[in-house]
Amino acid sequence: MRRLFITTSIAFILGGCGAQDESAHATQANSVPTAPDVVSMTLPELSVGLANEAFSSVDLVQAYLGRIERIDRAGPKLNAVISVNKDALKLAQKSDLRRGEGRALSPLDGIPVLLKDNIESRDQLATTAGSTALLDNVTGRDSPLVAALRASGAIILGKTNLSQWANFRSSHSVSGWSSVGGLVKNPHVLDRQACGSSSGSAAAAAASLAAATVGTETNGSIICPSQVNGVVGLKPTHGLLPIEHIVPIAATQDTAGPITKSVAGAALMLDGMTGWQNDYAGSLDASVIKGMRIGVLDFSRNDSPRLNAQFDAAIARMAAAGATLIRIERNDTPPEFWGAARLVLGAEFKVFLTEYLSGSPADIPIRSLAELVAFNNDNAEVEQAVFGQDILESSLDAPAMESDTYEDALALIRQTTRDNGIDALLREHDIQVLMGPSGPVSPRVDVVNGDVWPAWAGAGAMAAISGYPNLTVPMGTIAGVPVGVSFMGGRGADALLLSVGVAFEASGSGSPEPQYKPSVEAEDMRAL
């Protein structure tokens, strides 16, 4: 049941729709029902339903496979799922047998999960990172987080599409596009950005194509897709989850994290991914917010009145729930910060990607970053159909990780985001948690100019570069386009953030159900 979309033209990337096709597409999209029956449930609800034998794991797998066929491959054609595990039903049958014998392995036993396609699993699934160079990268290995999920009884349903090479290929990229999977579409408004690089994981979670998904982040790649697709995303503390057997960018920042439709679901997934060492789900406590001092990152707003109104409403909800809000108007960033951040990523990418490729046990045509650049040039019609590879090329000339240049840059960005960043804000304002918008309102996809985003909102880079946790929770929609609020804390504050997220969720938030609108603008013009 594996699907590979190898795009060779922009028309194909956009679904191959001309004027006549767009009308049919709109009809299909509008006819898609909201998630029915079991697939509309949150992860904790599914776990309880399995425990109570209201349905079986086989029922769940069949329901999600059917939904992938109807919504991802037909209908709106989200392009969120790259491949499906042909053994998923067999694994579900084994789970049902265990449960029937009273041997359920965990609350995740029998739960279907999708993995971002830069994360290895020992199933007969390639780990492509969205590149045709890795179509045969079937390693037979589980990344440690996948091994932990498997030991919990979770069903690896398949792999999700992503921004190719985790969006570390071009400064003019189209987020959510890969040569293997095509362009991921936002299920809320189909011509809006699904963001990257975990676009497929977030879109799949929003469209109920699995009970939960796993994404990865180096700098924003869990938080941004989760917020624009209207789901919960957790970027955990760096190092909480091992990153072995995940296609890398930078070891000092890379992490995986759960994407779900509820905060409690994210906590359950984090429990499973960490081998049930910390009981994140069991320690959820919405009452922690009462009397808590939370820093409001006013400096992280942008100039969107509608986004700021949503954020103000989120602040009011936190205050009504008992939190004390402390306004923070500024946080200075040295002018050389962003250059240093880019240098660190390039230096690490050159080393760690080559290390990954050279160590793959699969039969693949590239074994180094240099060979990848050459492969993309030799296969430009497919690999560079939409944008080039200037980031890959510049990374070839990045300084060595043993150099003073790299060490100085790493020290600068860590000092800026830790000592003078999150740690300083928490200490100076006597607060426990920081709160800001998760990002700007998602723009329309632009395959001509690449990603063209509004002025950025949010401060997620501080959490990503510092290695500290960041949780995004839906806070509303603007013209049907979801927006989220982020909660950040110090190193190891994952459990605290999840409890704060539960409290915010209980104040009236939830994942909006996708409407599969072809375009917001089309509706607005008709209204005029």
Alpha-carbon gap, residue 55 to 239, rounded angstroms: 36
d(CA 380, CA 9): 11
Q: In this structure, what token pair is assigned to residue 94?
A: 């084994």
How crowded is residue 367: how many other Cβ atoms within 10 Å of its Cβ? 14
Q: What is the DSSP letter of 417?
A: I
Marked catalytic residue, from 208, 221, 466, 511: 221
Q: How far apart are CA 43 and CA 70, in angstroms?
A: 21
Spell out the residues 6+ positions from residue 468 whose beta carbon is closer than 8 angstroms to its own.
Answer: 237, 238, 417, 418, 422, 462, 488, 489, 490, 491, 493
**How many CB atoms are located within 10 Å of the residue 423 CB?**
16
Question: Within a 10 A sphere around the Cβ of 237, how many other Cβ atoms?
Answer: 22
SS3 470: strand
**Which residues on neighbouring strands pair with residue 246, listed in sequence order?**
119
**Annotated catalytic residue within 56, 57, 197, 466:** 197
In the residue annotation, 442 being an active-site residue is answered as no
Buried/exposed code over 185-199 (b: 16+ C-beta within 10 A; e: otherwise): bbbbbbbbbbbbbbb
Residue 221: active-site member: yes
- In sign, the C-alpha dihedral spanning 502, 508, 513, 517 is negative
Strand partners, 156: 113
CA distances from 279 to 194, 269, 466 (A): 31, 11, 24
Q: What distance in Å separates the CA atoms of residue 169 and residue 436, rounded to the nearest whole number?
A: 28
Of 116, 261, 350, 517, the catalytic one is: 116
Is residue 197 annotated as part of the catalytic site, yes or no? yes
Alpha helices in 166-219 (DSSP H): 199-206
**Distance between CA atoms of residues 15 and 23, nearest Å:** 13
Structure tokens of 361? 């046990």
Q: Which runs of E-coded beta strand occur in 196-266?
A: 212-217, 232-235, 255-260
Return the active site residues.
116, 197, 221
